[in-house]
Amino acid sequence: MKILVAGATGKTGLRLVKELATRGHDPIALVRESSDTGDLPDGTERRRGDLTDLQDDVCAGCDAVVFAAGSGGHTGADMTDKVDRDGAMRLIDIAAKSGAKRFVMLSSIGTEDPPEDGELAHYLQAKHAADEHLKASGLDYAIVRPVALTDADGNRDIRFGEDVDPKGKAARGDVAFVLANAVESADWLGKTAAMESV
């Protein structure tokens, strides 16, 4: 499959691009002008695009799209809205119009019922809006909601659903593995699941 990855040069997205390539897919890295693409696997197609200003043809020819991007922990509420909410929603709309078959969203624990206030409230509200937009889009979708991320590769021992500890950890390598599964597997169709590394 040709799979567009938003956030392809990020800590999780980079692992996902490599995972998809090893499975025989053709990952397409959505990159900004300023993105550091040096760590992308050789031969990875790069497609220019900025989540704050996406072109209508950004998903052209893609079988699936994965949103693994984020505004980052050091940006303000304005950029969170532009990337995590509005950028994600715009990418969903473009994917639906372009004929992509599946859209996989990297979300977060806590987005199903985001708090009114607190340190992560605005971020979780933005992610909640994007998740709900995806569910209503008509696309085949999967939503993965990991707990707090670590930079570890993980060992693919993963817990899902109601047994997940909200205060647990999820290795980025495990998250990339799950996102790749969510692109490929019919078991993930229409599924939203919390996850943690065990």
H or E element at residue 30: strand 26-31
123 is catalytic: yes
Question: Which position among 123, 141, 177, 188 bears the catalytic label?
Answer: 123
**166-198 residue pLDDT tens:** 999 999 999 999 999 999 999 999 999 999 999
Query: Comparing C-alpha atoms, which of 23, 27, 21 is closest to residue 3?
Result: 27
Instruction: Looking at the structure, give the CATH architecture of the domain made up of residues 2-197.
Output: 3-Layer(aba) Sandwich (3.40)
Query: Comparing C-alpha atoms, which of 159, 151, 148, 130 is closest to residue 65?
Result: 130
**103-125 residue pLDDT tens:** 999 999 999 999 888 888 999 99
| Residue 168 · residue 148 · CB < 8 Å | yes
End-to-end CA distance of the chain, in Å? 30
**What pLDDT, on the 0 to 100 scale, is given for residue 73?**
65
Query: Comparing C-alpha atoms, which of 48, 155, 140, 49 is closest to residue 96?
Result: 140
The neighbour count for residue 129, using CB atoms within 10 Å, is: 18
